[in-house]
Amino acid sequence: MLKLDNSLGFLLSRVSNMMRKNLENRLAPFDLTAAQWAAMMRLKEHEPLTVSELAQSLYFDKPTTTGVLGRLQKKKLIKRLNNQNDARSQLIMLTQQGKSLVAETQNYAQAVNQLAMKNLSEKQIEQLTIFLVRILED
């Protein structure tokens, strides 16, 4: 019989919530949410991206993406450019201020990951990562 406290989905959700809250507590002085920070980090890794590409890469729905980008633009952390390859879409890039903020806060996410895995060995962390990637494979 399935018990909620032993359910993989329930446990993954709890871990995800715990890590998101921890990251958001660290990002609060910068007026950033975990979703905003993730969007900025993805742009740092792969800019420029269209809104659609960014949403797909973060597994965000359209309303979430629109809200996140709107708030980041108000804070002058991203800029939108016309896409010369497709007039129907825009390209999203970090501003210099956004790049500086990502660089300044990147170690916070690393610290959250390290804290979450503090009771695991290097081998266990490697295995957990492999297992999670397998679960996510289509």
Q: What is the pLDDT of residues 79-134, one digit of tens each?
A: 999 878 777 888 999 999 999 999 999 999 999 999 999 999 999 999 999 999 99
Q: Please report which confidence band the pLDDT of residue 61 belongs to, taking 50, 70 and 90 as the band edges.
A: very high
Instruction: For the chain, give the percent of residues with pLDDT over 70.
Output: 99
> Are β-strands 78-82 and 90-94 bridged in parallel, bridged antiparallel, or unpaired?
antiparallel
Q: Catalogue all structural domains in the chain, each as residue range(s) with its CATH number.
A: 4-136 (1.10.10.10)
Q: Which helix (H) or strand (E) holds 24?
A: helix 8-27
Give the angle 12-104-80 at the CA atoms, nearest 5°.
Answer: 85
The set of residues, in sequence order, having a beta carbon less than 8 Å from that of 29 and lying 6+ positions away, is none
Q: What is the average pLDDT value for the chain, to the nearest integer?
A: 94
- CA R_g for the chain: 17
pTM: 0.87
